[in-house]
Structure formats: structure tokens, C-alpha cells
Structure 1
Amino acid sequence: MCKDIGGTIMNYTKSVEKWGVFEFCSEGTTAGNPFLERSITALFESDSERKTVNGFYDGNGIYKVRFMPSFEEEYHFTVCGNFSDSKYEGTFSVTPPSENNHGCVKVHNKYHFQYSDGTPYYPVGTTCYVWNLQSDDLIAQTLETLKNSPFNKIRFCIFPKSYCYNSREPRSYPYEGTPVDGSAITEDNVWGYTPDSKGNNWDFERFNPKHFQHIEYCITELQKLGIEADIILFHPYDRWGFSTMTPEQNELYLKYTAARFSAFRNVWWAFANEYDLIKNKSIEDWERYAQIIVESDPYDHLRSIHNGNQFYDHTKSWITHCSIQRSPEGTSEWRKSYGKPIVIDEMLYEGNIQYAWGNISPQELVRRFWEALCRGGYGGHGETYIDDKAVWWSHGGELKGDSPERIAFMRKILEEAPNGGLRPKNMEWDELCVVPEDENLADETGYHLFYNGISRPGFRYYHIDDNNIYTVDIIDTWNMTVENVGSFKGRFRIDLPTREYLAVRIKKAEDGIE
């Protein structure tokens, strides 16, 4: 139980696992505009941690504060604010994390990632922009598909999206009010958005809590599957007016979103999809919005901003990793330029729509994944096969393409590599090669992964050193096979089956030096 100084009983979580979500809930005043005029703040203290956290109004006279504890200790909290005349306090205990709870993902080894407990994390992401705003049945189908997929990260929006194959209205809207009738939007009006958004009637100072509660459900369901929620805060594809809110309205939205979502360990902040296509926001605006999230998120979740045509300056200190829309051939150079992890969230999509960005072959998408990996970065998946019910890239549903199982095979190869991620190494000019980012592991294991892409050599010569014995595997990245071809020393020749998309994995033999 939690009591104020007058003895009023409040609801709160009595026990929570490490990196879980503690929640305090209280009734409070509904006078005025609670979203704008009321505040609720809590101080959390243990022997090892002290954090102040902002809460939020959840509608129907209910105020909440959420907190993610980082230590297995007893915590004391104090809640105050003008939501109530009372001050509340209580204690709760933090238990060990459950088996699949590894904490938050953070940058590790400069160009890579790991969870809070030190478990390696290799992002293998997909894009489903508004899967979370579909029907219950379609959302359930998407979650079941993700459960059986290789993807451990998914990009999606808070705001609905209006674009080709996105003409229907979402299940809910983030604000109180009514939308313009979208029935006139068709696939012939392919871009489907109007910047002035005339006809909408929103109160941008009053949120719709049910919209955010539902997104929290989606975040939690992803968490159960071990999937990171890469949440897109802004985007340009809009017929409702959400992309043209004032700076003050944007700031209120960011603070509210951070207060609601920050305590979930699997949240990432993607400030924009194609920031440079949102014409009413300047670089100064983006910098101010970034500072709001930095100040409002006490857990320092990962942060990125995604380009359309023009790259953002990813050297900015608030940006934790580069979220890029490009073919992966520039990955090695982007590593050098920005000194951060490279995640190519859009490399074009496997599909069959009329637009070039959404009709590459599964072979080409898989090649791009391997190209990104063997240049020291990470690729992202998307699928745009036409379907009357759902297009994965937007709505989720079922995957129809041939790339996901090959991406799963690539993920297995990556997870079998030495921990800490891989970095590019200059070997032959016409063949990609990566070795462990950690130089000690590189020396210890002798691990080299070569990739030939669309080249079809019948043989290649390799030379790692003259002292150690190396085992060699030929990896067919499309047919998903691994063939060990023996052990070698010095300079040696490996005969290859003259096929595209082959990789060669070389590592020290267990018996070491002859």
C-alpha cells in the first residue's frame, strides 16, 4: 500500500523485476486541462540509484508515474505535483530479471551494441510503419509472424501515415478531435497527404490516452518477443495535420511521449522518418526536440534521426547511432565519418509494387544485408508485396517474401562470430572482409569472414599468416549451407562453386600452431 500523509491509499507496483516497469497510479484533479496545466513527478532512491521521473495524465482523472529500476534493491519513492494537494510515498522491492530480460540496448565497442547485462545485441530490423494502428486481428497476426521471424527490431510510428497503400484510417488518433474524411484518398492519389490538412479538428493540447495505451500494449508484446521498439516520433506523410503542429505543440507531445514510454526497456527513439522531407522543421527545431527527449528520458535510450535525401549530421552528441536510408556500399566510410554504429534501416524493399524503392528481388535484399555486415554495419528489412488486406512494410500481417529465412541464416552466422561485432579489414581489393572489432579477439581467433556478392570466382587464394592452421568454411548465403573444406596453413587456394552470393569463413583451428 502507498499512503499520503492523510492516509489515502494509492495503487502502485509492490515488486518489480530489474529493468521492468514500476507504476504508481493515483486519482487527481480534472480541473482545467490536465495535460497542459497539471504535473506529477516522482523521486526514486535506492542504495545505488537516484532518479527524478516525470509522470503523465492518463485520462479519466488518473495520473501515473513509471520507473525502470536498474538494481536489485529496495527502493523508496516520493510523488508530488499539482495534480493533487497531497504528497505520496512508499517502497517497493526489485527482484532479479527474468530469463529473457537483458535490460536496455546500448552502444558497445563504438560501432556495435549490447544489452545492459553484457549480452551482445546484433540489430536485424524490419519496418512496419503503422502495424500498431491496425485491427486487433491484424496486430495479432503481425506478432505471430514476428515471433517466427529473425527480426529483433521493428520501426513504427506513433502518428498514422498517409501514403501509397496507406489510404485507410487508423484505429485511433493521438489527440482529441475529428479527422477530415479520408474516403477520397485512393491509390491514384498516390502520395495521399495534404500539408495544410484542412478539415481536421484536433485539440493539440489534449491527448487521446487510449491511443497511447494501445501503443504501450504493442511495445509490451514486442518486449515479450525480445524485439526492440524503434519508435518514429515524426514523419512527413500526413493528411491529418500532425506534421505541421507548432513547436510548442511538438514539445508538449515529446514530453508526454517520453513520460509514457521511457520506462519500457525495449524503446528506441527515432526522431524522424525522412526528417528532411518535413519542410516546416529546421535543424534548430530538431536540435531543440532532441534536447527535450534527452532531458525527459532518464534511461538514455538509443536515439537516431533518419534521412530522405540529405544525411543529418550524425556527429551530434545526442545521436547514438546512424539510421540511414541508402544502399550499403558506403558503410565503411560512414563508420569513419561518424564514429558510431551504422544501421541501414532502409536499403530498398523486397516486393512487386510499381516504385523502384519497393520492388527489388529477395536475392538483392539479402546481398545488401551481407554487404552491410561485411562493411562493419547492420542492414534493415522491408517487404512491399501488394495485398488487399495488408502490405508488410506498412500494416504488418504475414511475410510473403523469400528474404527473411536467408536473413535468419545470416543472423546465425553473425551470432556465431566472436562477440563484440565485426569491423572491415582491407585484404584484396575485390573482396569484402570483416574481422572481430576487438583486436585481441581478432588475434586470438583469427576470424575472417569474406563476401563475394554478385562475383562468381571459381577459386580464390587466401593468406592470413604463416604460423597458424586455419579451418575454412564455404557459406552459400542464398541456399543457406555451410561446407567445411578442410584446414590450411600459409598461402592457400580454395576452390569455389562459381555461384553468386558466396562467403568464406576462416578461423584458427582448435589445434592451433603446428
Structure 2
Amino acid sequence: MKQFFGLMVAVAFALPACAAAGATPQCEQWGVHEVVLAGPADGNPFVDVDLAADFADEANRRLHVPGFYDGEGRYVVRFSPPSAGKWTYRTSSNAPALHGKSGELIATAPTGDNHGPVVVKNGFHFAYADGTPYRPIGTTCYAWTSQPTELEEATLRTLAEAPFNKLRMCVFPKRYKWNENEPPLYAFEGEAPDRWDFRRFNPAFFQHLERRIVDLQKLGIEADVILLHPYDEGHWGFDRMSDEADDRYLRYVVARLAAYRNVWWSLANEYDFMLEKQESDWDRMIEVVDRTDPYDRLTSIHNGRVLYNHTNPRLTHASIQNGSAAEEAGRAVLYRDAYRKPILFDEIKYEGDIPSRWGNLSAEEMVHRCWECIVAGTYPGHGECYLADDDVLWWAKGGTLKGESPARIKFLAETLSIAPEAGLEPIDRLQYPNIVGQPGEYYLVYFGKEAPREWKFFLPRYELKDGDTFSVEVLDTWNMTVTPIDETFVVRRESEYVFVDKVGRSVPLPGKPWQALRITKIAQ
């Protein structure tokens, strides 16, 4: 169970996992160490001053880490040591007061829930850097960090009890139906709504964003940071900055946030709805993020109607909006074949009751689509849009969850937590798209909206041999129950393609929808 850490520490915020010990600072591996320097405050330091530091460990592993201006003459280089041991650094800058500064730190072994950043593993899946499996089941709160403090803290309290381990969130505020309030802070200096100096950032805005990302980290939640989005339409103008302003903003936000191990980059939400930009602009901006980030954090871009070319090698996974594909595993699995990297259906439409067709799924349908994504060897994303008199809808502002799907998604997450570490793979995707697992060892069979009273036991032939023995459990994905079947099933080859129970038995089922089977090989 995730624990809720005191939210009233926002004012007295301190970076996690780092401390001074004698003359040499210490920082946990994958924690955050800050090199803080005093420098020029005159002119425009955001554009006039360049700062970076080169870090090296005793094995001569090197990282070039960009710095940033944090206001009031304060310059920062944030470093997250990717390995334990001694690290040294030396700064480079066009400002003499910042150039040639050197130092060292000791990266200690990670403790507690620090498993490192999430990385791609086994082609289509994820794990933390220390090898601990990570199975993303996320949710969306686009503009939760642009709300009043009390609402942000309510969101964190809800997340502390929810099953989600990833949160899609925007840097910029959002202006859309049910979400038209002005935020407390803006990313640039200037005057709301649209008189901004895109050459001067507002450090207070980013300091607040960083605190909330650390709050998520303490809850074990990955922050899928959406860098740009179209839900502005010129009101603030953040959706139609110049190429120069876009690139400067991206370099600044990456320099500030990349050291946090729970940060992912999403270049945009519904990128193709930002009509001021061409696909070549997105290619350029993806490269800017990639070149600026010394840690190679997970990176994606999210579509509206037009799919981006996710074969781009700078993208680590594909973030897909397609509710239709999530309705049936045989459709969802095709994205794996096309892009050959992890597939996250970050938007499969939302549970709720708003009039828009993308936000009025029943809870049963939301849970069903999550299971279909899982049996396709892909990963789903939750969202919720229930109308409220105060216009606080989870999908945009956070707050509290009202739907019935989160409890059932928790049951799904618990099911995944005891699945094989290598990840769930479609077993015979073109013939039996509702069967996923590890061939010969472990299977999930999902029946969805069908309501059979029995299922003739069979498994695709891969990695099986006559005499293999399996236990079976019936999972009711809606009522969240697990019912073991008393008998075991011993298989024999029936044809070129399948094995069946050697005496032809079937698995009894309750004749209700939303049922699944968990089939596990019994060691002999």
C-alpha cells in the first residue's frame, strides 16, 4: 500500500535522498544532488548564461549535465548518479563566476523504495533500473498542478489510496470545457493571459512543479510529463510559441526535471491538434529533448487522430489514443507488431457521464478495456470524467475519484504483481488473442463480455509437452474474486497447434461476463 507523506512540507521542500557527510556530500544512487552556484543576476541570465557540468565516476563513466538559472543569482546543476561510488565534476560556463568549479560526491546504495528510473525491458515491457518489474497502469490528471493548494493535496491523498503507478500530467495549464480557471502560477514572466516574455522563465512555477513531482515519487508514481498540448487555442499562447521559444523552453524544463528518477517525457498530448506545428517540428523537438537529457528518460508522444511515427528511435515507447483498439485484444496487439516497442494505450476513453463520447464509458467498459490491453501484451491507462457542480473532474483537475473502476483496476494490478517477471506475452496472437502469458509456464485467458458456463481446457502448443500439469483459478474481474478449481489438468497434444486435457475435461465457469482464468504450471 502506498503511504501518504505529509503534504504540508511544500514550503520547506528539500530534495530527497541527499545529505552532507563531513566534507564530501553524499547522495543515494538515483537520488538528486544539486551543485548550487552564485552568478550574475543582471541582464537576462536565462538566455545570456550557459552552464553545464561534466560528471565522471571512478570507472570513467561520464555524463554531461545541463544547468539552469533558478532566479536571484542562483544557478543549479542537478545530478542523479546512475551508479554508486565516487563522482567528480567540473563546470563549464560562459560566465567566469560559474566556470571551472569542481567538486565531488559519494553516491551511496539506494534504500527503501528507491529502485531507480523505469527502463524498457524485454522489448515490450518495463522494469526499474535495479531489475524490479514495473507494470504501468496509469491515470490522467492533466492540469492538477495548476490548481489551488487544497485541491492538489486532495489529489495526492486520493492517489495514495489508488492503484495507479503512473500519472499523465501537463506542464502548462489547460483551458478546455470544465477547466477554464486561471492557474496560480505561470511558466514565464509577464502578464496574463497572453503578454509573456518567452525569454524569461518564472522559477516559482517550476519550483512548484518539482515539489509535486517529488510528492508523486514518494507515492511510487511515475510522472509522465506532457511538455506541450493544444488546449490553449491562443488564450495564453503556450501552444503557438516560436521554434526558438519552444526549444529554449524544452531545454530549460529538461535541465530542471531530468534528474528526478520518476520523470518520463511526453512531447505532447494530441500533438496533431496543435495546428501551428508540422511533423518536422515534432521531430526537431524530440531531438532537443533527447540531446538535453543526460539520463535518457522514457520518451513518447501522444496522438489525437493522426498516429505519430513511433518507429523514431528516440522514442522509447508508443503512447496511443485508440478506444476502439482497446475494445479487443486482437486489434491492440497489432501496435506491437508495427512499432516493436512497449505500447501504452494512455487514452482508451474515460469512465464518466459527460456528453462527449470520449468521456462516458461505464465502469464495466473501462475495466474490460484495461483487461483487453493486458491480454494483448500492452498496457492501459485509466481516466475519469464525472460531471460536478464545481467543475472538478479528475481527468483535468484531480481531486477525488468517483467511479467504480479503480477498485477493479487494483485487482488487475494485484494480478499482474504475481505474474512472471519477464512480462505477459501474447501466446498465439493471430488465432487466440485472448490468451497471454509465458508459454509453457503461465497463462491468463480473458472471456470479456462472453458468459460461458464452461471452457474446454486447451493451450497453444508452444513450449508444451505431454504430461505437463496445470492448476486453474477462475478470476471474476468485476467482483474481484479468485476461485481455485479443485482438479489439476494434465495435457496431451491434440493437434499440430494445441494441447488439451488428456481426458478431455472442461473448466466450469459461472455463466457471467468479465471472467478470466489463471493457469499455472505445477512443478514436477
- TM-score scaled to structure 2, two decimals? 0.88
The residue aligned with 1:43 is 54
Residue 451 of structure 2: aligned partner: 456
Distance 1:258 1:339 in 2: 27
Task: Give the 5 Å matches for 1:156-305.
Answer: 156-180=169-193, 200-238=194-232, 239-305=235-301
- Equivalent residues of 1:294, 1:300 under 8 A apart: yes
Matches within 5 A, 1:361-380: 361-380=362-381
After TM superposition, give the deviation of residue 508 of structure 1 in Å: 1.1
**Is the CA contact 2:333–2:429 (under 8 Å) kept in the aligned structure 1?**
no
State the Cα deviation string for residues 151-208 of structure 1 (Å, max 9, x = none). Answer: 000000111111111110112110011113xxxxxxxxxxxxxxxxxxx210010011
Looking at structure 1, the residues matched to 274 and 76 of structure 2 have their Cα atoms a distance apart, in angstroms, of: 32
- For 1:83 and 1:226, how far apart are their aligned partners in 2? 39
- Of 408, 412, 415, 2:414 maps to 412
Aligned match of 2:38 = 27
Identity %: 45
User: Is 1:103–2:89 an aligned residue pair?
Assistant: no
> In the alignment, is the contact (CA less than 8 A) between 1:125 and 1:381 conserved in 2?
yes
SS in 1 for 2:485: strand
Alignment partner of 1:132 out of 124, 145, 149: 145
For residues 78 and 396 of structure 2, the distance between their equivalents in structure 1, rounded to whole angstroms, comes to: 30
Confirm whether residue 399 of structure 1 aligns to residue 401 of structure 2: yes
CA contact (8 A) 1:13 1:23 kept: no
Change over 3 Å in CA distance of 1:427–1:44 after alignment to 2: closer
- Alignment partners' CA distance in 1, 2:81 and 2:420: 31
Q: Distance in 2 between matches of 1:430 and 1:457?
A: 16
CA contact (8 A) 2:24 2:106 kept: no
SS at match of 1:144: helix
CA RMSD of aligned residues (A): 1.4
Alpha-carbon contact 1:17-1:96 (below 8 Å) kept? yes
Deviation string 1:221-241 (CA, Å, 9 cap, x unpaired) is: 111111100000111010210
Q: Deviations 1:406-460 (Å, cap 9, x if unpaired)? A: 0010011111111121111228957600022xxxxx33xx211100100111111
In structure 2, stretches of 5+ residues that fail to align are 1-22, 460-464, 492-500
Secondary structure of the residue aligned to 2:215 is helix
> Is 2:148 the counterpart of 1:121?
no
Report deviation, 1:212. Answer: 0.6
User: What is the CA distance between 1:388 and its match in structure 2?
Assistant: 3.2
| Counterpart position of 1:338 | 339
Q: What is the CA-CA distance between 1:83 and the residue it aligns to? A: 3.5
Query: Which amino acid is the alignment partner of residue 140 of structure 1?
Result: E
Give the match for residue 474 of structure 1: 474
Matched to 1:457, the amino acid is: P
8 A Cα contact 1:156 1:231, kept in partner:
yes
Correspondences of 1:59-78 after superposition (within 5 Å): 59-78=71-90
384-393 or 52-61, larger mean C-alpha shift: 384-393
User: What stretches of structure 1 of length at least 5 have no aligned partner?
Assistant: 1-11, 181-199, 437-441
CA distance in 2, matches of 1:97, 1:386: 43
Asked if the contact 2:229/2:271 (under 8 Å) is kept, the reply is: yes
Residue 211 of structure 2 aligns to a residue whose secondary structure is: helix
Q: 1:452-486 CA deviation, whole Å, 9 max, x = no partner?
A: 10011111101235311210100000000000012
Q: Deviations along 1:16-35, whole A, 9 cap, x unmatched?
A: 10000010111111222110
Aligned to 2:116, what secondary structure does the other structure show? coil
Deviations 1:1-24 (Å, cap 9, x if unpaired)? xxxxxxxxxxx9811100000101
Q: Distance in 1 between matches of 2:130 and 2:429?
A: 35
Superposed counterparts of 1:305-454, under 5 Å: 305-327=301-323, 328=326, 329=328, 330-389=331-390, 390-426=392-428, 432-436=434-438, 442-443=439-440, 446-454=441-449
Q: Is the 8 A contact 2:85 2:106 kept in 1?
A: yes
Q: What displacement does 1:87 show? A: 2.7
Separation of aligned partners in 1, 2:244 and 2:432 = 52
Amino acid at match of 1:79: T
In 1, Cα distance between equivalents of 2:54 and 2:458:
59
CA contact (8 A) 1:431 1:451 kept: no
Secondary structure of the corresponding residue to residue 381 of structure 1: coil
Report the CA distance between 1:41 and its aligned residue: 1.1
1:323, CA displacement in angstroms?
A: 0.3
Could you list the runs of 4 or more consecutive aligned residues of structure 1 that deviate by over 4 angstroms after TM superposition?
427-431
Residues in 2 aligned to 1:303 and 1:77: alpha-carbon distance in whole angstroms: 27
SS of the equivalent of 2:302 reads: coil
The count of residues paired between Structure 1 and Structure 2 equals 474
Aligned to 1:439: none
SS in 1 for 2:389: coil
Which segment is superposed worse, 84-93 or 276-285? 84-93
1:82 to 94, 107, 113: 94
For normalisation by structure 1, the TM-score amounts to: 0.90
Contact 1:13 1:24 survives alignment (8 Å): no
Secondary structure, aligned partner of 1:99: coil
> Residue in 1 aligned with 2:9?
none
**1:483 is aligned with what amino acid?**
T
Matched residue SS, 1:294: helix
Task: Give yes or no for the alignment of 1:18 onto 2:12.
Answer: no
Q: Any conservation in 2 of the 1:29–1:84 contact (CA below 8 Å)?
A: no
**d(CA) in 2 for partners of 1:401, 1:231:** 24
Q: Within the alignment, does 1:501 sit opposite 2:514 as a pair?
A: yes
- Residues in 2 aligned to 1:459 and 1:53: alpha-carbon distance in whole angstroms: 59
Q: 1:499 to 1:428 in 2, by over 3 A?
A: farther
